[in-house]
Amino acid sequence: MKRGLVVLDHDEIPESEWTSRVGTLQERLAADGIDIALVYGDVYRSDDIGYLTNLCIYWNEGVVAVPAEGEPSFLTKLSPRVHIWMRRTSKVSDLHSGRAFGPLVAGLLDGREPGVAGLVDAALWPAALVTELTGALPGWELRPLGGLVREQRLRPSPNETALIRDATALLDEALRQAVAPGLTPADRVSVVERTLRRGGYTEVLVDTASAQDDAVSVDVTGQYRHNWLRAARTVADPGGASPTGALEAALDAAIGAVAAGTAESALRYAALPALTAFPDGTEAEVRWIDQADLSTGGDYRPPGEDVRLEQGSVGAVAIELILPGGGRAVVADTVRVGPGSAERLTGSREPRS
């Protein structure tokens, strides 16, 4: 369940940008002959809905229906009691509640000639829901679509990028406190949760791990407004001998390789020299995860895909080690891809010594 402050502030994201987000999707629908697009979300994966409407799926499920022309509608299994709050904090005013999405969508389309209803990111829809809609919409073609909204989210706008920058200092401070010596894993999680929630983060995911007896990792992925950031640190207790400096050097090298058009594999190659400091048998993974995919840890990417970084995109460069003894260590920072280098958003802006 998501918790935190839901903000609709036109000084942060102006009205024109909200209108443009929906309008860009509608242009694509019209070009592809789609009468209405259905965008599904639940508490685990709802960023497309947030991006289009500012709605926060804090519990349960929801579907945004975007016609090729006209205003979007929001369908939810939540009680109508939440409609007042949703209208005040979102960009959608046409709200419908019911026990099942089949009847809700059928009711919304009642009186319209059957046409094409597109399922955005269809591969991620629950199969039972697709079956339900098929039965509820006789005569309609249900057309599977790709990640049309996700594609719009891959390069944050200047306003979104400003919000991401606003959120970085808070994440850095939370991590600084969380890696202090002497804290228990529960203490570290509590510090991060308390700091980020108070600062306006809606979602906070914290993972702690022990690299060796003298080192600890704290890995944080957080949502601020509808954007995501990730940062992780591995530190040794005073007097420890873990080669945490080598891990930081590997992260610096990987971030140093970030540039528009660079393949993700180039980040791995850049990090390899520093990773030789670790014992034989160490398994190392170097990843780029776009901020549009951080809510799910990039789990839905096709296996083996060698992503090429796009100018203006924001994402996390992360290095995770599995040590021969079973320990784990993680470092990560969020960066923005520039034409020839990266802007490091979390962590030091200068190379570490």
The 10s digit of each residue's pLDDT in 50-94 is: 999 999 887 789 999 999 999 999 999 989 998 998 999 999 999
Q: Are the CB atoms for 194 and 220 separated by under 8 Å? A: no
Residue 213 pLDDT more than 50? Answer: yes
Quick: pLDDT tens for 236-263.
Answer: 754 444 557 899 999 999 999 999 999 9
What gap in Å lies between CA 295 and CA 289, rounded to an integer? 10
Tell me, what's the pLDDT at 237? 54
What one-character DSSP code corresponds to residue 343?
Answer: E
Tell me, what's the pLDDT at 128? 97
Joined tokens for residue 290 = 């776009």
Average pLDDT of the chain is 91
Q: Which of 102-116, 154-168, 212-226 has the lowest mean pLDDT?
A: 212-226
pLDDT band at 3 (very low <50, low <70, confident <90, very high): low
pLDDT band at 214 (very low <50, low <70, confident <90, very high): confident
pLDDT band at 353 (very low <50, low <70, confident <90, very high): very low
* 317-337: average pLDDT: 93
Tell me, what's the pLDDT at 37? 98
pLDDT band at 324 (very low <50, low <70, confident <90, very high): confident
Residue 351 pLDDT more than 60? Answer: no
What gap in Å lies between CA 271 and CA 286, rounded to an integer? 8
Residue 348 pLDDT more than 90? Answer: no
Tell me, what's the pLDDT at 59? 77
* 10-17: average pLDDT: 95
Q: Which residues of 176-195 are buried (b: 16+ CB within 10 A; e: fewer)?
A: eebbeeebeeeebbebbbeb
Tell me, what's the pLDDT at 304? 74
pLDDT band at 299 (very low <50, low <70, confident <90, very high): confident
Residue 202 pLDDT more than 60? Answer: yes
Residue 349 pLDDT more than 50? Answer: no
Tell me, what's the pLDDT at 212? 64
Tell me, what's the pLDDT at 242? 52
Q: What is the DSSP string of 34-84?
A: -SEEEEEEESSS-HHHHHHH-----SSEEEEEEESSS--EEEESS-GGGHH
List the Cα angle 142/42/264 in 5-degree steps. 85
By percentage, how much of the chain surpasses pLDDT 70?
Answer: 94
